[in-house]
Chain A
Amino acid sequence: MPTQVPWLIFLLPFISFLLCGLVLRPFLPKFPKLAGYVTIAAVGISCALSFWVLGAVIAAPNHMLMVDDITWAVVGDLEMHVGVLVDALTAVMVVVVTCISLVVQIYSQGYMEGDTGYTRYYAFMSLFTACMLGLVLANNILFMFVFWEGVGLGSYLLIGFWFHKPSAADAAKKAFIVTRFGDLGFLAAILILFANTGTFDTEALYKLVATGALAGSTLTWVAIGIFAGACGKSAQFPLHVWLPDAMEGPTPVSALIHAATMVAAGVFLVARFYPIFSHSPEALLVVAVIGAFTAIFAASIGLVMNDIKRVLAYSTISQLGYMMLGLGVGGVAIGIFHLSTHAFFKALLFLGAGSVNHSTGTFDMRLMGGLRKAMPWTYITFVIGALSLAGIWPLAGFWSKDEILIAAFANNQALFTLAIITVFMTAFYMFRAVFMTFHGEYRGGAPSEHGGHDEHSHGLHESPAVMVVPLVILALGAIGGGWVNVTGFFGSLFGHGEAVAREISLVEGFFGPLTHPLPLISLLVALAGIFLAYAMYIKKWVSAERITQSVKPIHTLLYRKYFMDEFYEGFIVKTLLYNWLFKLFAMFDDSVVDGTVNGTAAGAAGAGSALRKLQNGQTQLYAFTIAIGVVAIAVVVLLFS
């Protein structure tokens, strides 16, 4: 494989961004469709190249390919390089990113059709894809940070895509600032790393960790710092608050950025620096605990949401928690395996939600119902996604979730308990969504007057082929994506320190899990969750309203998302900082700092006007003063001499 290939994977979408932003938008505004074609072509070629890279990595010894390095800037001891690292992790990530991106770009042609910002949309999407690929390809932590911020920018621009909506503008700002808060930790980790090792290079860091040159509390702090960054981007508690709001963006954006790729960047980051984490049991425990807690915490909120995208958003947070748990108790392969399968079925679910919205004009499930007849393709693919997410054998989600549960059970029973409860919740809220959306009677869709832009309502109808075909492609991934590890192949790809080294036969791998107790338990728990949703929302054996009423305080707590938005925005930002601390600063600046300056000036001016009275130009007064002076001197001389 030529060494230019990985560079091209990154550069093609970037060129597409420049083309859309600097050529198509200003000079060819009459042909908006071009932007879509350019982007799809660029991402498509990147996707093909990614598979090439994956093939080369599988064939390569140690699953590791060459590293390119270019000096970027040197300041004293600070040497900054830019380069590419291609190993199994990179290869899997570029394939996942380009595949999902390609499918989403195709789908967007239908979803965004007729939008005034069509070219801008594709320009931002290209920029995001380029940065995401840059992030996974970079061979050093500094450039990972550079692209890390880049994907944050892409996310900001696309959440705020319909910037005329105050809610979208708010959400974009919130997403950027909250994730930047996590980036503090990331940046601090980079500074600590460089101060202690003098390098940013990923492989050099691996070596330093392996030889024990980087160890002890420094290592733990670095790991915690990196994890703080990961918490921001991957929306882990307590920095998860931005992700549900991010649903203000166009739905394909939610699918690509806020379900499949960018939010998984935090998981990728931890995986990339896994050698650092694995040498610090404390850090690994933090990762596992935060992950497990986030999984159950977000799932509990997902139980009561009425907006289908919010359900999916909380589900994403919860699943990202799973991935973190997988990294914390298992290893890179386990976390990344779930990341990959999740990318497919969650993107599928989001695009399905977008398709539903395309027809009904709303995301509120209370206004939907009965859509399965009008939208059969959307319905079938959505159910496949939901089953996969719930972890039903033999769909993709089953395999990856199973790995996490097994690892959790072996390592930490308490975290396993949280995880298995989450399985139940996940199955319940997903099928609650399926039943509310697609079953029963149609409840009317969006009210006639709607402020937003994210809707195109003209009677119930299936979406156009350009949207349905991507759903089917993703559904295939959501079904079969998990089979790559049936024989332990995926695990062995990630060689270092993995438990899954044993290669087993296809049949044994495929049916084997059903003979073990643990997978069976998780399967039964998931089925129980689906059954409860069925009982409540189809058969109405149990009234959802009655349950809500009987646990009103808990429902309110969940419905208001544990009041964390109120705490962050209302209390910390508005009250504590804006109206108290910063107001104090501003008042201090006005009255004390500037007051002293103006006071000094006024003092000088005052002294001047007092003294000026002595110089009033009346010669009589001067003569009189002189006379008094002379007399006084005379008296003194006469008296004392």
Chain B
Amino acid sequence: MNLNLLSWIIFLPVIGLVVIALLPKPGQKTVRWIALMAALASFIVSLAVFFMFDKSLPGQMQFVEKVSWIPAINSFYSLGVDGLSLPLVMLMTFLGVVSVLISWKIDLRPKEYFIWLLMLESSILGVFMSLDLVLFFLFWEVELIPMFFLITIWGSGRKEYAAYKYLIYTLTGSAFMLAGILCTYFITNTMDITALAGMQFGTTFIPLQFLFFLLMIGFCIKLPVFPFHTWLPDAHTNAPTAASVILAGALLKMGGYGMIRVCVSMLPQVAVQYAPIMCVLAVIGIIYGAGVTMRQTDLKRLIAYSSVSHMGYVLLGIFALNQVALSGAALQMFSHGLITGLLFAMVGTVYDRTHTREINTLRGLARQLPVITVVFSVAGLASLGLPGTVGFVAEFIVFNGTFTSLVPFAQVYALIGVLGIVLTSGYILWMLQRVFYEYPLERYDHLKDADLVEKIAIFSFVAVIMLFGICPAIITDIINTGIMPIAKLIGL
């Protein structure tokens, strides 16, 4: 029995956006309820997939749908999930729901806003479920359009600059990726991602190393890997809250996901060869990112830079190239999506009330905004890897995997990574102190704490962060089934 559940997950938001688009002059309330229903429907279907997922089939794509699409280049409309992609799909559908909730008060052109938001969700979901390189690339590119408009229209500050920078920077990476996909096709005559995994390449017209980096560069920009990260603080800072949440929460993970799914699975030997370089870039990202974070005075920019540091753990886990480290990377993507998603949502709640993100102009908000303070603190503590939150589990697994990795000097990288968590506690706790503690300011006395809709959104984040922190097996058992076969391909 095939219910095409995966297609439903992708296209339920599309149905929602089509309905919104066809309504002649819908009010703000109608639009947001339709958006919420669409996102919620997609989330519920993904939950169904989560519960029906068979953990006893490692390495097997499940819920597969395959329809011939462009026979001329042997391309299929082909979807499927395994233990690597399922957590990310869940993450995106969850963020889809909460991002509608935190956009509840959007009154500037709400119709278009929710159309773009739903389109963003669909395209990212498509990336995580595509099993065909052309389809993958299509979704990868479609995502740019809604994000561009979300930043330029609903953003703040230097929003046009940020949007163009984001668009052009990412497109540059995509151009290389497209070249890589074409080369792959001409070498292997297939676009099937599962078939490409572990394929034996004979003699090829370009060196495989070259192919690896053609594909890799787009992912490196997306993740982002030092030194390709400077689009991120600009885009984040100027994007509207929900876009930041999705950007940090799910969009960056397209990079890490692509690296594992395409680069490492397809060309494991090249990955082994270049692992030392990537690990060095990872630890630079961790320490350097944390250092730059420490200097930020804009609350949102601070969180944005912390992502650079935290994505270093993902990169480190991926290129430590053993099963534990790769699983850690997969979990770190999931965990960072939740934690940083929440952090951006919280920055949004503070900004909505105080109309400033300059840390120096904020102080002592704990008395005026107790609920926001508590949730912001929980997010911060999760971000610095406190046990009891999913952040600790992910980071510990990455460290453990890296420390036992056979990549040269892996132990050193692991220990530098551990040093990173001290820096993280430094900037997180300092930020919390400056924004929420010490004497309150009179000018913020009239502020109102989180309302019901906001509470639903942020409390569900907290619940999920704690749930996976206390019972990580729920998610690690699934990740294992996805990572084990990939780790076997690498054979380290």
Contact = CB atoms under 8 A, between A and B. Distances in A.
Interface of A: 71-78, 142, 145-147, 149-150, 153, 156, 160, 163-166, 168-170, 172-173, 176-177, 180-181, 184, 187-188, 191-192, 194-195, 577-578, 581-583, 585-586, 589, 593-594, 596-597, 601
Interface stretch (B61-69, B323-331, B345-353): B323-331
Task: Name the prevailing secondary structure of the A interface residues.
Answer: helix
Nearest to B164: A601
A191 B403 contact: yes
A177 B422 contact: yes
8 contacts: A146-B387, A153-B386, A164-B437, A172-B433, A176-B429, A184-B422, A191-B418, A586-B296
Contacts of A169: 433, 437-438
B399 interface: yes
Nearest to A150: B387
Contact of A187 (B418, B425, B430, B436): B418
Contacts of B404: 77, 194-195
Contacts of B288: 585, 589
B157 interface: no
A593 B230 CA distance: 7
A191 B472 contact: no
B238 interface: no
A497 B294 CA distance: 49
A586 B387 contact: no
A191 B400 contact: yes
Interface stretch (B118-126, B183-191, B206-214, B476-484): B476-484
Interface in B434-492: 436-440, 472-473, 476-477, 479-480, 483-484, 487
A169 B229 CA distance: 33
Q: Please provide the 9 A-B residue pairs with the shortest distance between their CB atoms, ordered closest to farther.
A: A76-B323, A146-B387, A169-B437, A594-B230, A585-B291, A586-B295, A163-B437, A582-B291, A191-B403
A601 B169 CA distance: 10
A164 B472 contact: no
A149 B324 contact: no
A184 B418 contact: yes
B291 A160 contact: no
Given A191-B403, A194-B400, A195-B403, A593 B437 contact: no
Contacts of A150: 387-388
B421 interface: yes
B393 interface: yes
Contact of B438 (A74, A163, A581, A596): A163
B168 interface: yes
Interface residues of B, number: 61
A187 B484 CA distance: 26
Nearest to B430: A173
A197 to B, nearest CB: 11
A75 B83 CA distance: 13
Interface of B: 165, 168-169, 226-227, 229-231, 288, 291-292, 294-296, 322-324, 327-328, 364, 366-367, 381, 386-388, 392-393, 396-397, 399-401, 403-404, 411, 414-415, 418-419, 421-422, 425-426, 429-430, 433, 436-440, 472-473, 476-477, 479-480, 483-484, 487
Contacts of B401: 75-76, 78
Contacts of A597: 165, 169, 230-231
B388 to A, nearest CB: 7
Determine which residue in A147, A194, A586 has the highest number of CB atoms from chain B within 10 A of its CB, and name it.
Answer: A586
Nearest to A586: B295
A188 B415 contact: yes
Contacts of A77: 323-324, 404
B484 to A, nearest CB: 7
Given A163-B436, A169-B438, A601-B168, A75 B479 contact: yes
A177 to B, nearest CB: 6
Contacts of B165: 597, 601
B35 to A, nearest CB: 30
Contacts of B473: 71-74
B429 A173 contact: yes
Contacts of A164: 364, 366-367, 437-440
A430 to B, nearest CB: 34
A170 B386 contact: no
Contact of A586 (B292, B322, B381, B386): B292
Contacts of B472: 72-73
Given A74-B473, A76-B401, A146-B388, 10 more contacts: A73-B393, A149-B387, A160-B437, A166-B438, A169-B437, A173-B430, A184-B422, A195-B403, A582-B291, A585-B288
Contacts of A589: 230, 288, 292
A74 B422 contact: no
A180 B425 CA distance: 8
B294 A578 contact: yes
